[in-house]
Amino acid sequence: MEDKEVNRQTGKWQYQDYSERYEKAGEMTFRELADWYFDHYAQHRLKASTVYNYRYSVERFMLPELGEIPLKLFNNLMLTDWFAHLDVSPEYCRILFITMRSIFSEAVRAGLVERHPCDYVVLPQKKKSAEEKEPLLTEAQARELYRMCCEDYWLHYVVRFLLLTGVRSGEAFGLRWEDVDFRTHIIHVRHNLANVASRHWLDKPKTKNSVRRIPMSPTVETLLIKQKKAQLWYLKQRGPDRFPHPEMVFTTKTGKYMDHTYVERTFKAMIKDTDFPDITLHSLRHAYATFMLAQGVDLKVVSSLLGHSSISTTANLYTDVLDRSRAEAAEKLELELFGKAPDKWE
């Protein structure tokens, strides 16, 4: 009887607590909502790196101006105006918007707000000309870059691997030797090397489709075998106690996790005084996809190799390449059928 009474009272207390929270939800401020979000949702459902980035966005940009505003005053017009006056790039506005949308989505699910204030928010747009789009490597430039990398031993293996597989840098740095199957010539992408405040750990890849198998070409296989031999040499020189991560495919000379920021900085320094466009490590992934599509590889296959969440993502990213391929295919068909292009018809 006593246990039933305790359970009944506990249930009543919980009901009163939630009821009171819903009744006063309109008076809740954005700061209180953010605290609730991180305490009750984010830390249990999101990756640690995502929580870290979301917290930074909220504390650095949102709370100073939006923190004390009641939730009932939030709407799409107010947020459109707020984003328009932020002194950040349109690209970073999108990052902040993703964070805010996640917070209010949980508020809607919990009944703290009736409507999602992020719906129909208009974000600042930067219209890019053709010259301003992320530069793509030509095949000649890719070959030259491939050659240049020989001058830096460790960068040599990383850049060549990224260029020949199209994986994200975090996926490459998260590869373990057990993910490389030399017998079946398959590389299993299972992890992403996360890095927050100089702390590294193996995390889940970006999307569900990012967990994938990619074929290992003879060139990639040779590259990995050389990488393994070099790693074993450094391991022998330093000893296992001073080479902490021999299980990883790509490490520093001292056996530590590869740091994306350091590799990116080294890569940029290598091409600084050359005729190369302003490319990044991620540009190597774009180059891989561009060359594959230009060679006529099916869009669905390329999308699967890249680990995109959907084939439409690949199609939207490489519209120009697909358009050129279609135009070339159409011209080739006309030449095969009629022996000359339409503008040369009599």
- For the domain bounded by 139-329, which CATH number is listed? 1.10.443.10
Number of other CB atoms surrounding residue 6 within 10 Å? 10
pLDDT(11) > 70: no
pLDDT(344) > 60: no
Q: How confident is the model at residue 37 (pLDDT cuts 50, 70, 90)?
A: very high
DSSP class of 242: G
What b-and-e string marks burial along 132-161, b requiring 16 or more CB atoms within 10 Å of the CB? Answer: eeebbbeeebbebbeebbeeeebbbbbbbb
The pLDDT of 270-283, averaged and rounded, is 87
Among 204-218, 226-240, 277-291, 307-321, whose mean pLDDT is lowest? 307-321
d(CA 137, CA 5): 72
What's the pTM?
Answer: 0.66
What does the pLDDT read at residue 332? Answer: 67
The pLDDT of 41-65, averaged and rounded, is 90
The pLDDT of 322-338, averaged and rounded, is 68
Per the CB < 8 A criterion, the answer to whether 146 and 223 are in contact is no
What does the pLDDT read at residue 24? Answer: 58
Q: How confident is the model at residue 321 (pLDDT cuts 50, 70, 90)?
A: confident
What does the pLDDT read at residue 48? Answer: 85
pLDDT(225) > 90: yes
Q: What percent of the chain has pLDDT over 90?
A: 50
- For the domain bounded by 12-109, which CATH number is listed? 1.10.150
What does the pLDDT read at residue 67? Answer: 94
What does the pLDDT read at residue 133? Answer: 54
Domain extent listing, the chain: 12-109, 139-329
Dmax of the chain from CA atoms? Answer: 101
Average pLDDT, the chain: 84
